[in-house]
Amino acid sequence: MRFDSLLDSLGHTPLVGLPRLSPSPSVRLWAKLEDRNPTGSIKDRTAFYMVEQAEKDGLLRPGATILEPTSGNTGISLAMVAKLRGYRLVCVMPENTSAERTQLLKMWGAEIVYSPAAGGSNEAVRVAKRMAGEQPDWVMLYQYGNPANARAHYETTGPELLADLPGVTHFVAGLGTTGTLMGVGRYLRENRPGVAIVAAEPRYGELVYGLRNLDEGFVPELYDESVLTTRFSVPAEAALRRTRELLAAEGIFAGISTGGALHAALGVAAKAVRDGESAEIAFVIADGGWKYLSTGAYEGSLDEAADRLDGQLWA
């Protein structure tokens, strides 16, 4: 396949079957390989759509500065798009995200402001909003509330998925900004009545929650619970276990949040088997495992790996 530029090659990712992890020939799992995007994650779609919309709206002019709270992938995608389109990027990132993310962001020319680990992504959002107030000429694209984030998935990810799997019964993805679930979810609900939209939410340790209890629960502006059919809460240990199973059984080397989505996908698969129903379950491989090697997720026993992840944001 030939494209005029890197950005033109975005999306159109493969959907691959998982014959070994699927419980039966009538209950099948399918993985959408979003790690096959230009910077290696699903966030390339979001970044491209948000920048393009801001250009159309006249918010971004040549040389402008973009500001964004991000725990990594969106920042990396935005850094690539910003570099190609001639913008400066400042990312606000929790200090407890993996080392590779910092290196990648800097590699693509982004500047990084760290927010305290204790508040997680919520604190990064708060710090970014404060900085935006102090720098009125900077443009915050704000992935948690930018309709272009969900629209990217409504216009690209959703249609690609339905074209490849017209009989899809379940769509499963990680719940972060909620953009993937809202965009793909709305598209599928309009075009595939009866489809189930399933969220996989990371469950962090009590340490993180203990500190977060100081906060108000943060709900992304994009989030509309009525789009969801159900929601799973996935502990780090389960996400790690599934990430390793995906590698061992199907040869797919994915990031840890993908293990969370697989955990939820296997949960709905088990229910379909129990209820004697057939199912075509698609889930999202949000990124590859490369950025998480330093977390030790793929080495030693599961317990050791889970201990190493304790207190880190893994999705």
**Would strands 279-285 and 27-33 be described as parallel, antiparallel, or unpaired?**
parallel
Is there a binding annotation on residue 169? no
Choice among 22, 71, 77, 257 that is catalytic: 257
Residue 230, exposed/middle/buried by CB under 10 A (0-12, 13-18, 19+)? middle
150 binds another protein (CB under 8 A): no
128 counts as binding another protein under rule CB under 8 A = no
Which one of 227, 263, 291, 297 is in contact with another protein (CB under 8 A)? Answer: 263
Residue 179 annotated as lining a ligand binding site? yes
Q: Nearest Cα to 262, choosing from 296, 234, 223? A: 234
Rule CB under 8 A: is residue 121 a binding residue for another protein? yes
> Would you count residue 178 as binding another protein (CB under 8 A)?
yes
Q: Is 73 annotated as a binding residue?
A: yes
Given candidates 83, 88, 129, 231, which one binds another protein under the rule CB under 8 A? 231
21-57 as b/e: b if 16+ CB within 10 A: bbbeeebbbbbbbbbbbbbbbbbbbbbbbbbbbbeee
Q: Which of 41, 43, 98, 115 is catalytic?
A: 43
User: Of the ranges 25-33, 165-173, 212-220, 279-287, which one interacts with another protein (CB under 8 A)?
Assistant: 212-220
- Tally of CB atoms within 10 A around 224: 14
CB of 35 to another protein, least distance (A): 21
The rounded distance, in Å, linking the Cα atoms of 92 and 114 is 6
By CB under 8 A, which span of 33-41, 57-65, 118-126, 240-248 interacts with another protein?
118-126
Which pairs from 294-303 meet CB under 8 Å and 24+ separation?
294/98, 294/99, 294/100, 295/98, 295/256, 297/240, 297/243, 297/256, 298/243, 298/244, 298/247, 302/237, 302/240, 302/241, 302/244, 303/237
Pairing relation of β-strands 230-235 and 15-17? unpaired
Residue among 49, 223, 283, 314 that touches another protein (CB under 8 A)? 223
Is the CB of 177 or the CB of 295 nearer to another protein? 177
Residue 257 annotated to the active site: yes
- Binding residue for another protein (CB under 8 A) from 187, 232, 283, 314? 232
Would residue 77 show up in a list of annotated catalytic residues for this protein?
A: no
Binding-site residues from annotation: 73, 176-180, 257
**Contact residues: another protein, CB under 8 A:** 120-122, 144, 175-178, 199, 201, 203, 206, 209, 212-220, 223, 225, 228-235, 238, 263-264, 267, 270
